[in-house]
Amino acid sequence: MKVTVVGTGYVGLVTGTCLAEVGNDVLCLDVDPEKIRILNEGGIPIYEPGLLDMVKRNVAAGRLHFTTDVDKAVQFGTVQFIAVGTPPDEDGSADLQYVTAAARSIGQRMTDYKVIVDKSTVPVGTADKVRAAVAGELEKRGVEVPYSVVSNPEFLKEGAAVEDFMRPDRIVVGADDERAINLMRALYAPFQRNRERLLVMDVKSAELTKYAANAMLATRISFMNELANLAEKLGADIEMVRQGIGSDPRIGYHFLYPGCGYGGSCFPKDVKALLKTAKDAAGIDLKVLNAVEEANEAQKHVLTRKIKARFGDDLRGKHFALWGLAFKPNTDDMREAPSRELIADLLAAGATVSAYDPVATHEAKRIFGDDARVALVDSANAALEGADALAIVTEWKEFRSPDFDTLKARLKAPVVFDGRNLYDPAFPRSCGIEYFPIGRL
């Protein structure tokens, strides 16, 4: 099948590449010539494990192509995926300008039947806006061309996006006509050979499903963070509590790890957008989700509170090491990352920082620029040199088994603030290290 994907970010590039991997002929469009230059020269503009090799393999096979030519892209694919960004607007709603612009571009150029697929995370009602945008352009042209609009939300985890696409646990398709549904079934058939994973529903239900999923996961995280903070006050161990409630099959263990807050491009944005949609479209105040967002914003400062409790509010002359900058492991994404809040807090209190992340250094350089107070170093041990304490913000695998003797020797004071509870508290303490986890004894 010929497929066009509009947008070469995390969702678009993974979608296009994985569809090419199973034999489709895919053309990826982006209006950013720099992204297309990188792709045509054999690189990728994002970091995602396994993606670069798959891109190279499918380009070499002639199944995957990249372009900035909108005319070519619209004419190419029967299925047109819209996978552009939907950044949060000033009021918290999802900014749909890029989605509707892509829809208008298709409507201005299409000459035969198209299935226009909303792959971007969009609020309920977006398919109606896409349909109206296409119809408006066709009307301007004075032509009638058949088309369908489908909601096909992505459920990809950054850091495991390729695996998630190739082996999905569900494929949600929101559509209201059989022709489009049959094409989507054919497109996704290679990904569900051992069992049916495709869930067909109405368009609005599909749009809401994506937001509901992310909101539920965000709720579990904030709930555990609140319990961890309570456990500290009560003298309980949140790890024991996690095991105790996770063993209940009605609850399970997923997303029950307390820490220093969630970040990234999805959870913060989607919670805000769902709150805004509920308020504007239905006049409903989602009290639970308001609390989830409030709890998460507070949790991003939990390490700051622990550091100031140990060193005092005035941190002038203090230097702190940070391990981890990305919002989660296996990505270079620092959008809404807790590390950014911690660094801002430390700098505001007069401290300086040395930070290390295995892959997000280039993104950190873009964010912090030439700020002399933030040193970006190339190893975990280098970050420790001359630091008064270490703060662990991202749970990269290489941080899980450090040499505590080396860590202790390199720090001015053997103090570790662990925002991800990577260690059994007894072990670093047995090495003479002051250890401050989240919600643990």
Tokens of 89: 């607007």
Q: How far is Cα 21 from Cα 167, in angstroms, rounded to an integer?
A: 13
Residue given tokens 């990728």 in the structure block:
44
Question: Where are the extended beta strands (E) located within 264-384?
Answer: 319-323, 352-356, 374-376
HSE of 314, CA atoms in CB hemisphere, 13 A:
2
- Residues 6+ positions from 237 with CB-CB distance below 8 Å: 231, 439, 440, 441
Q: What is the 3-state secondary structure (H, E, C) of 140-201?
A: HHCCCCCEEEEECCCCCCCCCHHHHHHCCCCEEEECCCHHHHHHHHHHHHHHCCCCCCEEEE
Alpha-carbon gap, residue 326 to 203, rounded angstroms:
34
Distance of alpha carbon 392 from alpha carbon 395, whole angstroms: 8
**Distance in angstroms (rounded) separating the CA atoms of residues 376 and 323:** 11
Spatial separation of the C-alpha atoms in residues 92 and 273, rounded to whole Å: 6
Q: Are 332 and 363 in contact (CB under 8 A)?
A: yes
C-alpha atoms less than 13 angstroms from C-alpha of 135 in its C-beta half-sphere: 8
Return d(Cα 423, Cα 416) in angstroms, integer.
Answer: 11
Give the C-alpha separation, 232 to 228, whole Å. 6
Residue 266 annotated among the catalytic residues of the structure: yes
What is the C-alpha to C-alpha distance for residues 205 and 422, in angstroms, rounded to an integer?
38
Give the active site residue among 18, 28, 260, 266. Answer: 266
Q: Are 131 and 20 in contact (CB under 8 A)?
A: no
| Residues taking part in catalysis | 266
